[in-house]
Amino acid sequence: KQEVTQIPAALSVPEGENLVLNCSFTDSAIYNLQWFRQDPGKGLTSLLLIQSSQREQTSGRLNASLDKSSGRSTLYIAASQPGDSATYLCAVTSGAGSYQLTFGKGTKLSVIP
Amino acid sequence: NAGVTQTPKFQVLKTGQSMTLQCAQDMNHNSMYWYRQDPGMGLRLIYYSASEGTTDKGEVPNGYNVSRLNKREFSLRLESAAPSQTSVYFCASSADWGYYNEQFFGPGTRLTVL
Protein backbone atom coordinates (compact mmCIF):
# COMPACT_ATOMS: atom_id res chain seq x y z
CA LYS A 1 0.00 0.00 0.00
CA GLN A 2 1.32 3.42 -0.99
CA GLU A 3 2.23 5.70 1.90
CA VAL A 4 3.16 9.36 1.60
CA THR A 5 5.12 11.17 4.31
CA GLN A 6 5.78 14.88 4.67
CA ILE A 7 8.44 16.15 7.05
CA PRO A 8 8.42 18.46 8.92
CA ALA A 9 4.79 18.69 9.99
CA ALA A 10 5.26 22.41 10.65
CA LEU A 11 7.81 25.00 9.59
CA SER A 12 8.28 28.65 10.53
CA VAL A 13 10.58 30.92 8.53
CA PRO A 14 11.23 34.69 8.32
CA GLU A 15 9.97 36.54 5.27
CA GLY A 16 12.33 36.52 2.31
CA GLU A 17 13.90 33.16 3.04
CA ASN A 18 14.06 30.39 0.46
CA LEU A 19 12.69 27.12 1.75
CA VAL A 20 12.22 23.48 0.83
CA LEU A 21 9.32 21.20 1.72
CA ASN A 22 9.84 17.45 1.53
CA CYS A 23 7.63 14.59 0.43
CA SER A 24 8.49 10.90 0.32
CA PHE A 25 6.51 7.90 -0.94
CA THR A 26 7.02 4.18 -0.40
CA ASP A 27 6.10 2.76 -3.82
CA SER A 28 8.09 4.30 -6.67
CA ALA A 29 5.64 3.02 -9.31
CA ILE A 30 3.76 6.31 -9.50
CA TYR A 31 2.08 7.96 -12.46
CA ASN A 32 2.43 11.51 -11.19
CA LEU A 33 2.86 13.65 -8.10
CA GLN A 34 0.81 16.72 -7.28
CA TRP A 35 1.49 19.54 -4.80
CA PHE A 36 -1.46 21.39 -3.26
CA ARG A 37 -1.90 24.36 -1.02
CA GLN A 38 -4.65 24.51 1.62
CA ASP A 39 -5.54 27.70 3.47
CA PRO A 40 -7.30 27.41 6.87
CA GLY A 41 -10.94 26.47 6.42
CA LYS A 42 -10.59 26.31 2.64
CA GLY A 43 -10.31 23.73 -0.08
CA LEU A 44 -7.18 22.56 -1.87
CA THR A 45 -5.56 24.55 -4.63
CA SER A 46 -3.44 22.65 -7.13
CA LEU A 47 0.05 24.17 -7.40
CA LEU A 48 2.08 21.84 -9.60
CA LEU A 49 1.73 18.41 -11.16
CA ILE A 50 4.80 16.41 -12.19
CA GLN A 51 4.42 13.44 -14.47
CA SER A 52 6.49 10.35 -13.63
CA SER A 53 8.67 10.94 -16.69
CA GLN A 54 9.53 14.49 -15.60
CA ARG A 55 12.18 15.69 -13.17
CA GLU A 56 10.75 19.08 -12.25
CA GLN A 57 8.04 21.67 -12.80
CA THR A 58 8.14 25.41 -12.19
CA SER A 59 5.45 27.98 -11.58
CA GLY A 60 6.53 31.46 -10.58
CA ARG A 61 8.44 31.25 -7.28
CA LEU A 62 7.64 27.55 -6.93
CA ASN A 63 9.77 24.69 -8.20
CA ALA A 64 8.90 21.05 -7.61
CA SER A 65 11.34 18.22 -8.28
CA LEU A 66 10.75 14.50 -8.48
CA ASP A 67 13.20 11.63 -7.93
CA LYS A 68 10.99 8.64 -8.57
CA SER A 69 13.67 6.02 -7.99
CA SER A 70 14.36 7.27 -4.47
CA GLY A 71 10.69 8.00 -3.74
CA ARG A 72 11.17 11.71 -3.05
CA SER A 73 9.88 15.09 -4.13
CA THR A 74 10.72 18.57 -2.95
CA LEU A 75 8.82 21.84 -3.26
CA TYR A 76 11.14 24.83 -3.34
CA ILE A 77 9.65 28.25 -2.53
CA ALA A 78 11.85 31.22 -3.36
CA ALA A 79 11.76 34.53 -1.49
CA SER A 80 8.96 33.49 0.85
CA GLN A 81 6.15 35.94 1.67
CA PRO A 82 3.57 36.05 4.50
CA GLY A 83 0.94 35.19 1.89
CA ASP A 84 2.67 31.83 1.39
CA SER A 85 1.54 30.79 4.87
CA ALA A 86 -0.65 27.71 4.43
CA THR A 87 -0.55 23.94 4.63
CA TYR A 88 1.16 22.26 1.69
CA LEU A 89 0.09 18.76 0.72
CA CYS A 90 1.66 16.35 -1.69
CA ALA A 91 -0.19 13.48 -3.30
CA VAL A 92 0.80 10.68 -5.66
CA THR A 93 -1.19 8.78 -8.23
CA SER A 94 -0.32 5.11 -8.22
CA GLY A 95 -1.83 1.63 -8.29
CA ALA A 96 -2.19 -0.21 -11.57
CA GLY A 97 -5.53 0.74 -13.07
CA SER A 98 -6.83 2.53 -9.99
CA TYR A 99 -5.25 5.96 -10.55
CA GLN A 100 -6.14 7.00 -7.02
CA LEU A 101 -4.48 9.86 -5.19
CA THR A 102 -2.70 9.07 -1.92
CA PHE A 103 -2.09 12.16 0.21
CA GLY A 104 0.51 13.06 2.77
CA LYS A 105 -0.61 14.79 5.97
CA GLY A 106 0.92 18.08 4.97
CA THR A 107 3.46 20.63 6.15
CA LYS A 108 2.06 23.74 7.83
CA LEU A 109 4.16 26.71 6.75
CA SER A 110 4.26 30.01 8.61
CA VAL A 111 6.15 32.92 7.05
CA ILE A 112 6.86 35.57 9.67
CA PRO A 113 6.92 39.23 8.51
CA ASN B 1 -16.45 29.79 -14.20
CA ALA B 2 -17.03 28.70 -10.59
CA GLY B 3 -14.97 25.47 -10.75
CA VAL B 4 -16.16 22.97 -8.14
CA THR B 5 -18.96 24.07 -5.82
CA GLN B 6 -20.29 22.29 -2.74
CA THR B 7 -23.38 22.73 -0.60
CA PRO B 8 -23.88 23.15 2.27
CA LYS B 9 -20.73 24.71 3.72
CA PHE B 10 -21.57 23.71 7.29
CA GLN B 11 -23.96 21.14 8.75
CA VAL B 12 -24.73 19.76 12.19
CA LEU B 13 -26.59 16.47 12.45
CA LYS B 14 -27.77 14.26 15.24
CA THR B 15 -26.80 10.59 15.28
CA GLY B 16 -29.07 8.62 12.99
CA GLN B 17 -30.13 11.53 10.79
CA SER B 18 -29.56 11.44 7.07
CA MET B 19 -28.34 14.07 4.66
CA THR B 20 -26.99 14.56 1.15
CA LEU B 21 -23.93 16.61 0.28
CA GLN B 22 -24.10 18.20 -3.14
CA CYS B 23 -21.26 18.82 -5.56
CA ALA B 24 -21.23 20.38 -9.01
CA GLN B 25 -18.49 21.28 -11.48
CA ASP B 26 -18.63 23.49 -14.54
CA MET B 27 -15.34 22.45 -16.17
CA ASN B 28 -16.86 19.68 -18.34
CA HIS B 29 -14.83 17.11 -16.40
CA ASN B 30 -15.56 13.42 -16.75
CA SER B 31 -14.32 12.22 -13.36
CA MET B 32 -15.46 13.25 -9.88
CA TYR B 33 -14.42 12.27 -6.37
CA TRP B 34 -15.46 12.51 -2.73
CA TYR B 35 -12.83 12.73 0.04
CA ARG B 36 -12.93 13.20 3.77
CA GLN B 37 -10.25 15.01 5.74
CA ASP B 38 -9.65 14.21 9.39
CA PRO B 39 -6.99 15.62 11.72
CA GLY B 40 -3.89 13.44 11.65
CA MET B 41 -5.29 11.22 8.86
CA GLY B 42 -4.89 13.27 5.74
CA LEU B 43 -7.39 13.10 2.90
CA ARG B 44 -8.95 9.73 2.14
CA LEU B 45 -11.01 8.78 -0.89
CA ILE B 46 -14.60 7.73 -0.15
CA TYR B 47 -16.06 7.16 -3.62
CA TYR B 48 -15.28 8.18 -7.14
CA SER B 49 -16.99 8.34 -10.50
CA ALA B 50 -14.63 7.75 -13.40
CA SER B 51 -17.29 8.82 -15.89
CA GLU B 52 -20.97 9.62 -16.02
CA GLY B 53 -22.96 6.52 -15.14
CA THR B 54 -20.22 4.79 -13.11
CA THR B 55 -19.28 4.89 -9.44
CA ASP B 56 -16.72 2.93 -7.44
CA LYS B 57 -15.62 2.58 -3.85
CA GLY B 58 -12.51 4.25 -2.56
CA GLU B 59 -10.58 3.64 0.63
CA VAL B 60 -13.33 4.41 3.18
CA PRO B 61 -16.80 3.83 1.62
CA ASN B 62 -18.65 2.33 4.60
CA GLY B 63 -21.64 4.39 5.71
CA TYR B 64 -21.87 6.37 2.48
CA ASN B 65 -23.66 6.18 -0.85
CA VAL B 66 -23.13 8.26 -3.97
CA SER B 67 -25.04 9.25 -7.06
CA ARG B 68 -23.62 10.61 -10.29
CA LEU B 69 -26.70 12.57 -11.27
CA ASN B 70 -25.29 13.80 -14.59
CA LYS B 71 -21.92 14.88 -15.92
CA ARG B 72 -21.88 17.99 -13.69
CA GLU B 73 -23.19 16.67 -10.39
CA PHE B 74 -22.01 14.07 -7.90
CA SER B 75 -23.76 13.71 -4.53
CA LEU B 76 -22.72 11.96 -1.31
CA ARG B 77 -25.39 10.59 1.03
CA LEU B 78 -25.14 9.65 4.68
CA GLU B 79 -28.11 7.38 5.40
CA SER B 80 -27.68 7.18 9.19
CA ALA B 81 -25.05 9.58 10.42
CA ALA B 82 -22.61 8.52 13.15
CA PRO B 83 -20.21 10.63 15.24
CA SER B 84 -17.32 8.91 13.40
CA GLN B 85 -18.50 10.69 10.24
CA THR B 86 -17.70 14.09 11.73
CA SER B 87 -15.22 15.43 9.22
CA VAL B 88 -14.58 17.88 6.42
CA TYR B 89 -15.80 16.55 3.08
CA PHE B 90 -14.25 17.61 -0.20
CA CYS B 91 -15.47 17.05 -3.71
CA ALA B 92 -13.00 17.10 -6.59
CA SER B 93 -13.03 16.65 -10.33
CA SER B 94 -10.57 15.89 -13.12
CA ALA B 95 -10.77 15.99 -16.88
CA ASP B 96 -10.51 12.24 -17.20
CA TRP B 97 -9.80 9.07 -15.31
CA GLY B 98 -6.27 8.05 -15.95
CA TYR B 99 -2.68 8.71 -15.16
CA TYR B 100 -2.88 12.39 -16.04
CA ASN B 101 -5.57 13.31 -13.57
CA GLU B 102 -4.88 16.73 -12.10
CA GLN B 103 -7.66 17.13 -9.59
CA PHE B 104 -9.47 20.36 -8.71
CA PHE B 105 -11.14 20.69 -5.34
CA GLY B 106 -14.21 22.40 -3.97
CA PRO B 107 -14.25 24.49 -0.76
CA GLY B 108 -15.49 21.66 1.46
CA THR B 109 -18.44 20.87 3.74
CA ARG B 110 -17.77 20.86 7.47
CA LEU B 111 -20.02 18.22 9.06
CA THR B 112 -20.50 17.62 12.77
CA VAL B 113 -22.48 14.62 13.99
CA LEU B 114 -23.59 14.85 17.61
Q: Which residues of chain B have a CB within 8 Å of the CB of A105? A: 40-42
Using left for φ > 0, alpha for ψ between -120 and 50, and beta otherwise, residue A18 falls in beta
Model confidence over A37-73: pLDDT tens digits? 999 888 999 999 999 999 999 999 999 999 999 999 9
- How far off is chain B from A78, nearest CA to CA, in Å? 24
CB contact B99 to A (< 8 Å): yes
Residue B41 binned pLDDT confidence (cut-offs 50, 70, 90): confident
Nearest to A5 by CA among A111, A90, A83: A90
- Backbone phi, then psi, for A82, in 5-degree steps? -55, -30
| Confidence bin at B37 (pLDDT 50/70/90) | very high
Are B102 and A46 in contact (CB < 8 Å)?
Answer: yes
Give the pLDDT of residue B2.
82
Angle value at C-alpha B14, between B10 and B20, nearest 5 degrees: 50
Residue B101 has pLDDT above 90, yes or no: no
pLDDT digits 0-9 by tens, B45-83: 999 999 999 999 998 999 999 999 999 999 999 999 999
- pLDDT for A24 beyond 80: yes
Chain A 18-57, CB below 8 Å of chain B: which residues? 31-32, 34, 36, 42-46, 49, 51-52
Q: Kindly report the average pLDDT of chain A as a whole number.
A: 93
Report residue B96's pLDDT band, with 50, 70 and 90 as the boundaries: confident
Question: Residues of B with CB below 8 A from A32's CB?
Answer: 99-101
- Count of all residues that appear for chain A in the document: 113
CB contact at 8 A, A107 and A4: no
Q: Check: CB of residue A92 under 8 Å from CB of residue A100.
A: no
* Residue B40: pLDDT over 90: no
Percent share of chain A, pLDDT over 70: 96
Q: Which residues have CB under 8 Å from A89's CB, separation 6+?
A: A6, A35, A36, A37, A38, A44, A103, A104, A105, A106, B42, B43
Query: For an interface test with A, which of B25, B34, B105, B110 has the most A Cβ atoms less than 10 Å from its Cβ?
Result: B105
**B61 in contact with chain A, both atoms CB, cutoff 8 A:** no
Q: Give me the pLDDT at residue B97, please.
A: 76
Instruction: List chain A residues with CB under 8 Å of B90.
Output: 43-44
Tell me: pLDDT of B15 over 90.
yes
Task: Output A5 or B97, whichever has higher pLDDT.
Answer: A5
Question: Among B10, B37, B97, B104, which would you mutate to test the A interface (most chain A Cβ atoms within 10 Å of its Cβ)?
Answer: B37
b/e map A3-40, b = 16+ CB within 10 Å: ebebeeeebebeeeeebebbbbbeeeebbbbbbbbbee
Residue A10 scores a pLDDT above 90: yes
Give chain B's mean pLDDT: 93
CB contact under 8 A, A103 and B42: yes
pLDDT value, residue A97: 61
